[in-house]
Chain A
């Protein structure tokens, strides 16, 4: 009998630890809860420095909220009622005023702005930060170059509170590029203290420390686990944010992220599967905000240097064989903007992205294959980035199935996220499913990276065409000179050419979705697709 008692007490013990009593919130905790925001996402930052080597997307979020830029963007309301940044309106951040001429832009800095350690923000800090961005190489230097910001000599300290950027050429993208995350302003004195001979730009220090003057500072960072922010009480770059403390936890399981938001434990969650966003929205317990990702397209790319994709008819056959609507329904659950099936004879517009004229028409696809001399189809490999499997895997299975019906046997190749970039660089993959979006929301910017004959990394199709290059270059020139008529003609020209030659088949423009509790307000869509904490508040 006694043995049974032992057993009983053991199971009772196990049961006790299995079913803990529901948590009881104390008064103080309830108070803290109102001023604290809990974010959950799949992965967290790997580096807090926007100029760092390989800083990932969550790292952009830290840089955006913990550093200030000279200028920022205003707010507008999108068609669907979502608040968004305004591409065409600039607002002061560290600069209170600025003037732009044909040869230079001059910024007047705020006199009361300070860094987190109390040091005043001066033009010296701005120059040091710009110099760093164009010197360290890799992504930041590249991004600066996109706005013709290339040499330290371009950045001039006029006096303590006046900073000038001299143009090396006229470029419409220069001012937009000064408002992206890369030209964040660093505390140069603090950084110099941590610089060494081997590391003159204090890359090591900035990796794990925020040396800025932004609205938030990182109080604690445990890589892969959490980031805790405290509000900067002396921030001058805008109205003081409402949220005092932000806890950002990494929750790898998508199911758990949904459970957390549905049960009201988490305040905001990005990166849920589309299906969850649609269902959460319908259930109505939490608010779901969706906005199309600017200048972003999910596409099927064909490498034109890999036969038989060098043949136009084969590429058109693939474009006619893709099950567009099925993908919209079963993969995206309707939560995307279709980029296919433009009405016959519809005029091209200068908007980008815009739908092309291809639809699912297997008979036509078969005929085109026969015309290309491949009536029995061929074998190929369809690759995608495993890091984005939630969308890519079902999408590729549907494409694979549909291609099989016209005789194209595609084997699906899942490429681990770490190798995806390397594979893209090699330009060996014949057929891929991929997504690209540009920070700067201009068609010529997108085409310069994705279709231009300079054959950048994002021209995954290795597409090279003299006519196309001429049109893209002409559009960039027309934009800089403000020649709208020529610009419109050139943009319509390269869009039309991209659709006719079809080296890549646009599928849809995805949405950026965020699920949040109903008492959270002030969400804004940004081109960098990360969260801006400064406008958020919690009732």
Chain B
């Protein structure tokens, strides 16, 4: 409990010391709110086409303008938040479970477990990450689930390595020895003693990879492997809108691009901020 209070106090200190982290916390809250309540608040149906109002520039009626089929871009950008945030969260949770656990087990047990996890991580690392994600989505089919799975797989080594290093340091630590002496099994120690200590550093990693997940989905959309139409998603909106930049309809790509940038920006800064909170070296 006191540890929690101390962390909170430290967090407040970090935020007050670093206004950028404060800003990112604010943005994060905004994104969560948009993901939760966005679909109820938007002025237009994000899927309804209206070809008589196609390609309208931003106006009082259409704040962010309309696209080729006359759909309201503002509504689409807001509604897309849930899907993009969902993709980001789902993929980091998945990789957290896979990579985090595998890494902790590797670091804690060592031996064969370590070798196997290490080889898997090395193999994945040897691929150019985006190309591997592309291959996975192309092979499994372009659905949201597969984009999430692909993003999780390419981030596996990152999590596994961080978790392994953290667990490895702690496997002979005093509190672990104490738990062992009081008769706890190895798995029990792993789950109740080691894992809680590794989680904070992985949370930092999660925040950083959430941004990557969204960028990854956008890149896949650009080469035609994104989500199915007509579902609004930032990456596919940017990719499709990009063809309209030269002809002057800048708003089609600009606003989804801005939303995407803000989200990734926010996740990255948040990661930095969380690192400051978690990293004991900065606690003074």
In the complex, A touching B (Cβ < 8 A): yes
Give 4 closest A-B pairs by Cβ, nearest first. A330-B51, A255-B246, A326-B51, A397-B230
A416 and B51 contacting across the interface, CB-CB below 8 Å? no
B228 and A412 contacting across the interface, CB-CB below 8 Å? yes
Residue on A nearest B222 in the bound complex, by CB:
A253
List A residues 91-130 near B (Cβ within 8 Å).
none
What separation, in Å, do the CA atoms of A333 and B2 have in the docked complex? 67
B49 and A401 contacting across the interface, CB-CB below 8 Å? yes
Q: Which of A255, A397, A416 contacts B69, CB < 8 Å?
A: A397
List B residues 193-252 near A (Cβ within 8 Å).
224, 228-230, 240, 242-247
B68 and A259 contacting across the interface, CB-CB below 8 Å? no
What separation, in Å, do the CA atoms of A411 and B227 have in the docked complex? 12
B138 contacts chain A at the CB level, 8 A cutoff: yes
Task: Give how many A residues have a beta carbon under 8 Å from the other chain's beta carbons.
Answer: 30
Assuming the contacts A330-B69, A394-B68, asked whether A401 and B51 have C-beta atoms less than 8 A apart, the reply is no
A386 contacts chain B at the CB level, 8 A cutoff: yes
A413 contacts chain B at the CB level, 8 A cutoff: yes
Residue on A nearest B52 in the bound complex, by CB:
A329
- Which secondary structure dominates chain B's binding surface? loop
Residues from chain A with a CB closer than 8 A to the CB of B70 are 330
User: 1/0 per residue A402-425: CB within 8 Å of B?
Assistant: 000000000111101000000000
Within the complex, the shortest CB–CB distance from A141 to chain B, in Å, comes to 32
List A residues 248-277 near B (Cβ within 8 Å).
253-256, 258-259, 262, 273, 275-276
A401 and B48 contacting across the interface, CB-CB below 8 Å? yes
Residues from chain B with a CB closer than 8 A to the CB of A400 are 230
What separation, in Å, do the CA atoms of A38 and B217 have in the docked complex? 35
What separation, in Å, do the CA atoms of A396 and B68 have in the docked complex? 13
Within the complex, the shortest CB–CB distance from A431 to chain B, in Å, comes to 15
B138 and A413 contacting across the interface, CB-CB below 8 Å? no
A255 and B230 contacting across the interface, CB-CB below 8 Å? no
Assuming the contacts A394-B68, A398-B49, A398-B69, asked whether A413 and B228 have C-beta atoms less than 8 A apart, the reply is yes
Residues from chain B with a CB closer than 8 A to the CB of A414 are 142, 224, 228-229
B138 and A416 contacting across the interface, CB-CB below 8 Å? yes
Residues from chain B with a CB closer than 8 A to the CB of A279 are 247
A226 contacts chain B at the CB level, 8 A cutoff: no
Residues from chain A with a CB closer than 8 A to the CB of B142 are 414
Q: Which of A275, A393, A416 contacts B229, CB < 8 Å?
A: A393
Assuming the contacts A276-B247, A413-B228, A414-B142, asked whether A397 and B49 have C-beta atoms less than 8 A apart, the reply is yes
Given A276-B246, A401-B47, 7 more pairs with CB closer than 8 A: A253-B242, A259-B246, A326-B49, A394-B69, A398-B51, A398-B69, A414-B142
16 contacts between A and B (CB under 8 A): A255-B243, A256-B246, A259-B246, A275-B244, A276-B247, A330-B68, A331-B68, A394-B69, A397-B49, A397-B230, A398-B49, A411-B228, A412-B228, A412-B229, A414-B224, A414-B228
A372 contacts chain B at the CB level, 8 A cutoff: no
Residues from chain B with a CB closer than 8 A to the CB of A259 are 246
B54 contacts chain A at the CB level, 8 A cutoff: yes
Chain B interface residues toward A at CB < 8 A: 47-49, 51, 54, 68-70, 138, 142, 224, 228-230, 240, 242-247
Within the complex, the shortest CB–CB distance from A193 to chain B, in Å, comes to 41
A386 and B243 contacting across the interface, CB-CB below 8 Å? no
Residue on A nearest B226 in the bound complex, by CB:
A414
Residues from chain A with a CB closer than 8 A to the CB of B51 are 326, 329-330, 398
A342 contacts chain B at the CB level, 8 A cutoff: no
Within the complex, the shortest CB–CB distance from B207 to chain A, in Å, comes to 30
Residue on A nearest B242 in the bound complex, by CB:
A255
A262 and B48 contacting across the interface, CB-CB below 8 Å? no
What separation, in Å, do the CA atoms of A259 and B240 have in the docked complex? 17
A397 and B228 contacting across the interface, CB-CB below 8 Å? no
Within the complex, the shortest CB–CB distance from A127 to chain B, in Å, comes to 45
Within the complex, the shortest CB–CB distance from B261 to chain A, in Å, comes to 19
User: 1/0 per residue A385-396: CB within 8 Å of B?
Assistant: 010011001101
Residue on A nearest B245 in the bound complex, by CB:
A255
What separation, in Å, do the CA atoms of A376 and B247 have in the docked complex? 43
What separation, in Å, do the CA atoms of A416 and B54 have in the docked complex? 28
Within the complex, the shortest CB–CB distance from B248 to chain A, in Å, comes to 9
Assuming the contacts A330-B69, A397-B230, A416-B138, asked whether A262 and B49 have C-beta atoms less than 8 A apart, the reply is no
Q: Which of B47, B228, B246 contacts A258, CB < 8 Å?
A: B246
Within the complex, the shortest CB–CB distance from B71 to chain A, in Å, comes to 9
A262 and B246 contacting across the interface, CB-CB below 8 Å? yes
Residues from chain A with a CB closer than 8 A to the CB of B244 are 255, 275
B247 and A397 contacting across the interface, CB-CB below 8 Å? no
A397 and B246 contacting across the interface, CB-CB below 8 Å? no
Residues from chain B with a CB closer than 8 A to the CB of A411 are 228
Residues from chain B with a CB closer than 8 A to the CB of A258 are 246-247
Residues from chain B with a CB closer than 8 A to the CB of A262 are 246
Residues from chain A with a CB closer than 8 A to the CB of B47 are 401
Residues from chain B with a CB closer than 8 A to the CB of A330 are 49, 51, 54, 68-70
Residues from chain B with a CB closer than 8 A to the CB of A253 are 242
A412 and B54 contacting across the interface, CB-CB below 8 Å? no
B228 and A386 contacting across the interface, CB-CB below 8 Å? no
Within the complex, the shortest CB–CB distance from A360 to chain B, in Å, comes to 12
Q: Which of B54, B228, B245 is packed against the most chain A CB atoms within 10 Å?
A: B54
What separation, in Å, do the CA atoms of A412 and B68 have in the docked complex? 18
What separation, in Å, do the CA atoms of A276 and B54 have in the docked complex? 15
Within the complex, the shortest CB–CB distance from B229 to chain A, in Å, comes to 5
Residue on B nearest A328 in the bound complex, by CB:
B51
List A residues 460-502 near B (Cβ within 8 Å).
none
A396 and B69 contacting across the interface, CB-CB below 8 Å? no
Residues from chain A with a CB closer than 8 A to the CB of B243 are 254-255, 273, 390
B230 and A386 contacting across the interface, CB-CB below 8 Å? no
Within the complex, the shortest CB–CB distance from B198 to chain A, in Å, comes to 40
Assuming the contacts A329-B51, A330-B70, asked whether A401 and B247 have C-beta atoms less than 8 A apart, the reply is no
What separation, in Å, do the CA atoms of A256 and B245 have in the docked complex? 10
Residue on A nearest B228 in the bound complex, by CB:
A412
Residue on A nearest B231 in the bound complex, by CB:
A412
Residues from chain B with a CB closer than 8 A to the CB of A396 are 229
